[in-house]
Amino acid sequence: MKKLMMIAAAMTIVGGAYAQCSDPVEGTCSQVYDFKASLKTTVGKAASGDCEDLCYRAKSSVSLKGYLYDCECGCDAFMTATLLAYDKKADEVYVGVPVWAFLNAIGKNSTDAEGLFDVAFAQGTFTAGGFGTFDGKLGMLKSISGNIVGSLPGPACEVSCADGEPTVAYPACDFASDYDVATVAYGTFSLKYNKSLSAKYSAGTWVPEWAPVL
């Protein structure tokens, strides 16, 4: 129930374009892309179970899976599509709308692609870029993958006497401990067109908010 409430709240903030597809119109289409990101970041760890001990940051990883989707097809719809991703380990939902700096068809036959975008989640802002493939006949991006980098809120620890104990960090050129410091997150990402889900989304038999609970 907590997970469903988080998803519903996130969809309300973004605007919930998925609702338009629940009443399909003949001759229209939708588009859905599978999204994956593997990030290196940090996690909070307590030196021991005692409240006086340090809660420190250690290297860790985050796996995000979800969808980029829109109720319409075409380049314009793709450029304003919503990105919904889910961190299963932390039971956390990420929702944002990628802003593309550019998306180009390249190569001898214009069947390759390159792109760069920023996306702002409640958790932090990321920049991603890479190469992929482009379908010139359909005028659509088939896939793209590359690198992604950004930041996340500083992690916390669960210690014996309190929940959510913040992790300490030492900002360079200051070297005084601080608890309100973001942490780095970087890694790889991929977007790949999902023909099956695109058809189901258009028909109203699939909605993005189901994705994290499948």
CA max distance for the chain: 65
Phi, psi of 184 (to 5 degrees): -75, 150
Contact 35, 81 (CB under 8 A): no
pLDDT of residue 156: 79
pLDDT of residue 166: 62
Which residues form the domain of 13? 2-213
Distances (CA, A) of 149 to 36, 43, 78, 92, 186: 14, 17, 22, 19, 4
Per-residue pLDDT of the chain (214 residues; tens, 9 = 90+): 344 333 333 333 333 333 345 444 444 688 999 999 999 999 888 776 555 567 788 899 999 999 999 988 888 889 999 999 999 988 899 999 999 999 999 999 989 999 999 999 999 999 999 999 998 777 789 999 999 999 998 887 766 555 555 666 666 666 555 667 889 999 999 999 999 999 888 888 887 765 554 4
pTM across the whole model: 0.80
Rounded to whole angstroms, the Cα distance separating 71 from 95 reads 16
Structure-token match 């605007």, residue found: 15
pLDDT of residue 74: 82
Is residue 126 exposed (0-12), middle (13-18) or buried (19+ Cβ within 10 Å)?
Answer: buried
pLDDT of residue 90: 86
pLDDT of residue 4: 37
> Could you give the number of structural domains in the chain?
1
